[in-house]
Amino acid sequence: MNKDIFTYIIVFVVLFLIVFYSHQTFLSCKEITLGFSLEKIYLFHAFFSALVCINLRVVSTVDKLFTQLGFIYLASLVIKLVLFCIFFYKSILTIETFTFSEKISLLIPIFIFLLTEVVFVAKTLNRSNKKQF
């Protein structure tokens, strides 16, 4: 389990560094400015995706919660959405109109970290299903 947790942390840190700096470099080359902090958006998604994966991996070792892992993951996604709205209310949710580059810049970290999170969660759930039978 410790190896899995270490792997999650390393993957999300490396993913953050590669994708964020690539995104930032692309925006700088095209001279596009955003109305919000791209770094904070990436940090939020990287941190909470890693946290969700780690928590699910730890919870998967508890026999009483073993059958509820899918529901726990769905609840964690809702909590992540609510926390995103709370943390970024002033910087994002008060903007009246978004440019196309701002919309895409918000969606890129969501999809990248969500897809990575889903891969790790699926591995945890598959490992748990094999353990159950």
d(CA 13, CA 70): 25
Give me the pLDDT at residue 76, please.
Answer: 95
Give the tens place of pLDDT for each residue, 119-133: 999 998 887 566 555
Give the tens place of pLDDT for each residue, 21-72: 999 999 999 999 998 899 999 999 999 999 999 999 999 888 888 788 889 9
Give the tens place of pLDDT for each residue, 74-121: 999 999 999 999 998 887 777 778 889 998 999 999 999 999 999 999
